Amino acid sequence: MITRGLAVTLAAAFVVLGVTAYWAQAQTTRPSMPPAAAASAPAPKAAPMDKAALQIDGSTTVGPIAVEFVEAFKKLHPDVTITCKQTGSGDGAAALIDGRCQIATMSRFMKPEEFKSAVEKGEMPVAHAIAMDGVCMIVHPSNPVKALTIAQVHDIYTGKIANWKELGGMDAPIVVVSRDTSSGTYETFTHFVMGKDKLFDKVEYVNANPQAHARVSTTAGAIGYVGLGFVDTKVKALPIDGVMPSRKTVQAGTYPMTRPLFLFTNGYPKLGSVEHAFCTFYLTEQGQKIIEAKGFVPVTSY
Amino acid sequence: MSQAIQSEGPAAEFTRPLLLTPGADRAGWLAAKAGRAALLLVAGASVVAVLLIFFFIAREAIPFFQERGLGEAASSTHWYPEDATAPQFGMLALIYGSVSVTVGALILAVPLGILAAVVLSDIVPFAVRQCVKPVIELLAAIPSVAFGVFAVKVLAPLMQERLGLPTGTNALNASFVLALMATPTIVSVAEDSIWAVGRELREASYACGATRAETLLKVVLPAAHNGVIAAIVLGMMRAIGETMLVWMASGNACQVPAPWWDLSQSVRTLTATVAGEMGETARGSLHYHSLFAVALVLLVFSLGLNLLTERLLSKARKSAGAHA
Amino acid sequence: MIEVNEMPQRKVLAAGTAAKTTDVKMANYVPQAAGPEQQLPAIIRADRFSLYYGSHAGVKDITFDIYPRAVTAIIGPSGCGKSTFLRSINRMNDLIPNTRAEGTLCVNDVNVYDRRINLANLRQQVGMVFQKPNPFPKTIYANVAYGPRLQGVHGRALDEQVEQCLRHAALWEEVKDYLDRSALGLSGGQQQRLCLARALATQPNVLLMDEPCSALDPIATAKIEELIISLKDEYTIVIVTHNMQQAARISDRTAFFCLGELIEYDQTKVIFTNPVRKQTEEYVTGRFG
Ligand SMILES: Nc1ncnc2c1ncn2[C@@H]1O[C@H](COP(=O)(O)OP(=O)(O)OP(=O)(O)O)[C@@H](O)[C@H]1O
Ligand SMILES: [Mg+2]
């Protein structure tokens, strides 16, 4: 009993230490931030190009693009220090609003609540759409089903269609895979497919595109959805309403499940600032190459 | 005789004083007080830290309960927190998921772990034990993500092919991998306590004509039951608190399967829900607070389980007749 | 036993012989095989028996016959291998890693180090009381009932057997109202007597006792000695003791061990009154050193 008590005590002491350390750190880093949160006007934080520090936080979908951007960006501006976190769109928005980062990467547009709390703090989030992403329905390569309609996908995800043979495939139950409900991909998917209806309760959830890919590529009866960049030969992407997802159809907007990916800043960045350079990097040739390499579709093309 | 010694000269002197000087006495008293105060402070800080964590979670959870009450969470299986028009916050399926996966893991891990502990301590030669024990302890340090990858990439396809299940990421898979992960902990702690029972008791049993199996079952395990139960509790806590692994292995379907004992279907646990949804929710939204409510349920749950095992433990101790 | 005499090549160290044939005194030494149990064959026989802890010998080259229905005492200075020898008889040393036996050690003409030995049966019939009291962390009743339960005794028969054994061990009066209390709550001496009761309860043929009285007060010691003397009509008792008077009082034969070797083995009165070896004499008269 005594040793257990001691162990609990020690563990808790470590927790206390950790909390205080974190708190102390938070205390020391706060003042070094631009005092924009205190200012009532949405004054863009115009950091000079050299020796500036940039914090990026947000979506795990846009994150890989942002990381590559940072790599390339550092070569152009070696004095700039950039930290890039991938915590999730919601965390990114919260960090931007709290002033913990200057750029939030988001795979969805800001929600009204988030806008509201930003405005209450006197901030004005500005969106920069940097790339397009197509949400593709994928099945196992052995699946004989050739095409689906939005209505069919809808019925699969509400449980109305439970067996592939109803779609002219094999006699096997459909294993329905979805991304987690708070991912941008999920939101795009439900926006285009589900409308007001809910996913039924047998739907399985995975928390990243690679995992959705892994589940579908290893499960004969599975259907799932991933971003265009994650479609390869191990899974079969199905045309939706007769349109095959591809760079062309996504860019042209003919593929029905297409979404933009965003960077958010507080106010439009001042010309010549690091933020401005970073937020317009997607327009450069190098930026576009990165976006393509990551499997997304650039909004402009040379 | 003693007279003779006395007459020959004085006895050996006590060269060190037997009484403390008043100053030293006071200093000692002060040191004892100070030590006690310091220990109390540390102990108090730990209690405060635990309470703070509890308080923080409860504070963020309260807005949820204020708005939705307890009834829906405790009675409904529908968890649709992000629904734009009518969000639903039934936690029953999540609770079911946590319990089924944990119980499943324990059913697999406890017999296996205790058996392995017994084999290590009593069956294999001492040298083998000395080699194998550190390896097993090393296994306990494998990060859960590694187990998760194993669950998704190896076990799930295997289950689909071999068992013919439609989906390989399910409660069984999660239980199995959780058991794999918890077993080294159980083996290590249980083996320590079984080993600590000592040769004397084993000898006593053998000397009564007991076989090895009888000795182990009737003497060694009962004598080590404290440590064995502690091992089980540790394994259980590791299983119920595990997040990453179940998030990857359990499939996360938010349902109570049709026959409730059907472990071949996907389930979602409390931990996976919090971890999976916390990142992308808008802070301050009802969904955000509901996740803290889930965390609170989990906390209460593991606390309750802990108390329950503690109770069982003291009962077992009494029936084993250790200390009255 | 007749065969013994027919095997002259075997260096029998029966009662009445000194350890080493090279001993100068051996020439004038007349083996005394007196005693009422003389005609009974030896029940435990060690022949050039050695037991090694790793490379260190706990006992070496012991050749030694122990006779049934008698009390055999083993005396000797601390660390001389008394416990080691005793614990070899029921293979208790098996639990210590890296032990190795050489030579033969027979119980009832079966080599206990035979690979085919049935250890459970051996140990049931060769009971043991250990040097340190080692009761199970169970109730007093469960401790004594442990052996009989293994043999399938239940119910009233078990109750009676437990009571009888506790009475034999001079513990009954002290614990009869507390049978379901933990045995760990007993004093050291009570625990030792409990262990004796536990050993008696398995109904062994041979009882090995490793300093059973070292933690007991004179009254309990006297009771145990009485018990030992009363038991020897049926049992074979081998007792290790540091108490010379005790050995003299209760044993029929005494073996003197020193540094892992058997120095002398004879009728108890010979060992204590007229030992052959000088070492023995010095030890029993308290001038050992
Ligand atoms: N577990 C062990 N591992 C290694 N050596 C041991 C072990 N037990 C005993 N020995 C060694 O064997 C020798 C004999 O020990 P043993 O316990 O038989 O002595 P003893 O005659 O019973 O002494 P005592 O009267 O103190 O009980 C000693 O030298 C001791 O160091
Ligand atoms: Mg000894």
Q: Ligand 1 pocket test: pick from C84, C85, C259 the residue with the most ligand atoms within 8 Å of its Cβ.
A: C84
CA of C190 to the centre of ligand 2 (A): 20
Q: Is A272 in the same domain as A285? A: yes
Residue C173 has pLDDT above 80, yes or no: yes
Instruction: Look up the CATH number of domain C2-134+202-284.
Output: 3.40.50.300
Query: Residue ranges of the domains in chain C?
Result: 2-134+202-284
* Residue C158 pLDDT level (bands cut at 50, 70, 90): very high
3-state helix, strand, coil in chain C (%, to 5): 40, 25, 40
Q: Which residues of chain B does A8 touch, with a Cβ-Cβ cutoff of 8 Å?
A: 46, 50
> Is A113:B84 a contact under the CB 8 Å cutoff?
no
The answer, yes or no, to whether any atom of ligand 1 lies below 6 A from the CB of C82, is yes
Residue C19 has pLDDT above 50, yes or no: no
Q: Ligand 1 pocket test: pick from C83, C93, C132, C288 the residue with the most ligand atoms within 8 Å of its Cβ.
A: C83
How big is the CA angle at B50 (ends B48 and B51), to the nearest 5 degrees? 60
Task: Return d(Cα C52, Cα A17) in angstroms, integer.
Answer: 54
Residue B247 within a domain: yes
> Is C189:C148 a contact under the CB 8 Å cutoff?
no
* Residue C150 pLDDT level (bands cut at 50, 70, 90): very high
Q: Which residue lies with its CA nearest to atom 31 of ligand 1?
A: C79
Q: Which residues of chain B does A182 touch, with a Cβ-Cβ cutoff of 8 Å?
A: 82, 276-281, 287
Residue B304 within a domain: no
Contact B204 C137 (CB under 8 A): no
Residue B78 within a domain: no
pLDDT of residue C10: 40
Chains C and B touch (3+ CB pairs under 8 A): yes
Residue of B131, B203, B211 to mutate, testing the C interface (most C Cβ within 10 Å of its Cβ): B203
pLDDT of residue B318: 66
> CB burial class (10 A; 0-12, 13-18, 19+) of residue B65?
middle
What average pLDDT does the segment B16-21 reach?
A: 86
What average pLDDT does the segment C111-115 reach?
A: 91
* Residue C223 pLDDT level (bands cut at 50, 70, 90): confident
Polymer length of chain A: 302
Provide CB contacts within 8 A for A53, sequence distance 6+: A47, A80, A81, A82, A83
% pLDDT > 70, chain A:
82
Residue B136 within a domain: yes
A165-190 pLDDT, tens digit per residue, is 999 888 999 999 998 876 778 878 88
CB-nearest to C138 from B125, B211, B320 is: B320
Residue A88 has pLDDT above 90, yes or no: no
Residue A31 has pLDDT above 50, yes or no: no
Q: Is A142 in the same domain as A211? A: yes
The CATH number for B155's domain is 1.10.3720.10
What average pLDDT does the segment C56-70 reach?
A: 91
pLDDT of residue B8: 63
pLDDT of residue A27: 42
Residue C212 has pLDDT above 80, yes or no: yes
pLDDT of residue B303: 87
Cα distance from N-terminal residue to C-terminal residue, chain C: 38
Contact B211 C185 (CB under 8 A): no
For chain A, say whether B266 makes contact (Cβ under 8 Å).
Answer: yes
Touching subunits of C (3+ CB pairs, under 8 Å) are: B
Dihedral sign for Cα atoms in the order B169, B171, B173, B178: positive
CA of B132 to the centre of ligand 1 (A): 29
What average pLDDT does the segment C251-266 reach?
A: 92
Q: Is A224 in the same domain as A106? A: no
Q: In the 8-state DSSP scheme, what is residue B209?
A: T
pLDDT of residue A53: 82
The CATH number for A223's domain is 3.40.190.10
Residue B17 within a domain: no
pLDDT of residue C32: 40
Chains C and A touch (3+ CB pairs under 8 A): no
* Residue B11 pLDDT level (bands cut at 50, 70, 90): confident
* Average pLDDT along chain A: 81
A54-69 pLDDT, tens digit per residue, is 889 988 778 888 988 9
Q: Is A87 in the same domain as A119? A: yes
% pLDDT > 90, chain B:
45
Shortest Cα distance, chain B CAs vs residue C69, angstroms: 21
Contact B265 A202 (CB under 8 A): yes
Lowest mean pLDDT among B121-130, B295-304, C18-27: C18-27
Q: Which residues of chain C does B211 touch, with a Cβ-Cβ cutoff of 8 Å?
A: 119-120
Q: Which residues of chain B does C123 touch, with a Cβ-Cβ cutoff of 8 Å?
A: 206-210
Q: Is A70 in the same domain as A97? A: yes
% pLDDT > 70, chain C:
86
Task: Return d(Cα C68, Cα C73) in angstroms, integer.
Answer: 13
Residue B60 has pLDDT above 90, yes or no: yes
Q: Which residue lies with its CA nearest to atom 22 of ligand 1?
A: C83
pLDDT of residue B140: 85
Contact B207 C120 (CB under 8 A): no
Residue A76 domain boundaries: 2-29+47-132+260-298
Residue A37 within a domain: no
The answer, yes or no, to whether any atom of ligand 1 lies below 6 A from the CB of C212, is no
Residue B209 domain boundaries: 98-269+317-323
Q: Ligand 1 pocket test: pick from C56, C94, C256, C261 the residue with the most ligand atoms within 8 Å of its Cβ.
A: C56
Lowest mean pLDDT among B72-81, B272-281, C16-25, C76-85: C16-25
Q: Which residue lies with its CA nearest to atom 1 of ligand 1?
A: C96
Shortest Cα distance, chain B CAs vs residue C193, angstroms: 14
Question: Which pair of tokens denotes residue A253?
Answer: 């907007």
A129-161 pLDDT, tens digit per residue, is 999 888 999 999 999 999 999 999 999 999 999
Q: Is A15 in the same domain as A97? A: yes
Residue A38 within a domain: no
pLDDT of residue C9: 39
Q: Report CA A132 to chain centroid distance, whole Å.
A: 12
pLDDT of residue C52: 95
A197: nearest CA partner in chain B: B83
Task: Return d(Cα B221, Cα B299) in angstroms, integer.
Answer: 31
pLDDT of residue C213: 87
Residue A164 has pLDDT above 70, yes or no: yes
* Residue B135 pLDDT level (bands cut at 50, 70, 90): very high
Size of interface B-C (CB pairs under 8 A): 90
Question: Which pair of tokens denotes residue B195?
Answer: 């080993």
pLDDT of residue B107: 93
Q: Ligand 1 pocket test: pick from C52, C53, C89 the residue with the most ligand atoms within 8 Å of its Cβ.
A: C53
Task: Return d(Cα C199, Cα C129) in angstroms, integer.
Answer: 6
Residue A111 within a domain: yes
Task: Return d(Cα A298, Cα A248) in angstroms, integer.
Answer: 11
What average pLDDT does the segment A198-219 reach?
A: 87
For chain A, say whether B152 makes contact (Cβ under 8 Å).
Answer: yes
Residue of B77, B280, B323 to mutate, testing the A interface (most A Cβ within 10 Å of its Cβ): B280
Touching subunits of A (3+ CB pairs, under 8 Å) are: B
The answer, yes or no, to whether any atom of ligand 1 lies below 6 A from the CB of C275, is no
pLDDT of residue B42: 94
B175-193 pLDDT, tens digit per residue, is 999 999 999 999 999 999 9
For chain A, say whether B248 makes contact (Cβ under 8 Å).
Answer: yes
H helix intervals, chain B: 2-8, 22-68, 71-75, 92-118, 126-139, 144-150, 156-162, 171-195, 199-207, 212-215, 221-223, 225-241, 244-249, 270-278, 286-320
Lowest mean pLDDT among A24-33, A265-274, B34-43, B271-280: A24-33
> CB burial class (10 A; 0-12, 13-18, 19+) of residue A242?
exposed
CA of C82 to the centre of ligand 2 (A): 6
Q: Is A128 in the same domain as A148? A: no
Residue B112 has pLDDT above 80, yes or no: yes
In this structure, the strands spanning A125-139 and A175-179 are unpaired
A220-246 pLDDT, tens digit per residue, is 899 999 988 888 899 999 999 999 998
> Is B189:A4 a contact under the CB 8 Å cutoff?
no
How big is the CA angle at B174 (ends B169 and B175), to the nearest 5 degrees? 140
The torsion angles phi and psi of C183, rounded to 5 degrees, stand at -65, -20
C131: nearest CA partner in chain B: B200
C224-250 pLDDT, tens digit per residue, is 898 899 888 888 999 999 999 999 999
DSSP characters for B133-146?
HHHHHHHTTS-HHH
* Residue B88 pLDDT level (bands cut at 50, 70, 90): confident
Task: Return d(Cα B36, Cα B44) in angstroms, integer.
Answer: 12
pLDDT of residue A224: 94
SS3 A179: strand
Question: Which pair of tokens denotes residue A153?
Answer: 């996908």
Residue B199 within a domain: yes
Residue A65 within a domain: yes
* Average pLDDT along chain C: 84
What average pLDDT does the segment C105-129 reach?
A: 92
B197-231 pLDDT, tens digit per residue, is 988 999 999 999 999 999 999 999 989 988 888 89
* Residue A45 pLDDT level (bands cut at 50, 70, 90): very low
> Is C171:C193 a contact under the CB 8 Å cutoff?
yes
* Residue A48 pLDDT level (bands cut at 50, 70, 90): low
| ipTM of predicted complex | 0.83
* Residue C131 pLDDT level (bands cut at 50, 70, 90): confident
Contact C151 B324 (CB under 8 A): no
For chain A, say whether B284 makes contact (Cβ under 8 Å).
Answer: yes
Residue of A8, A219, A234 to mutate, testing the B interface (most B Cβ within 10 Å of its Cβ): A219
Residue of C146, C194, C202 to mutate, testing the B interface (most B Cβ within 10 Å of its Cβ): C146
* Residue B269 pLDDT level (bands cut at 50, 70, 90): very high
pTM of the model: 0.74
Query: How many domains in chain A?
Result: 2
Residue B122 within a domain: yes
For chain A, say whether B158 makes contact (Cβ under 8 Å).
Answer: no
Residue B292 has pLDDT above 90, yes or no: yes
A105-122 pLDDT, tens digit per residue, is 998 888 888 899 999 999
Q: Which ligand 1 atom is nearest residue C82's CA? A: 21
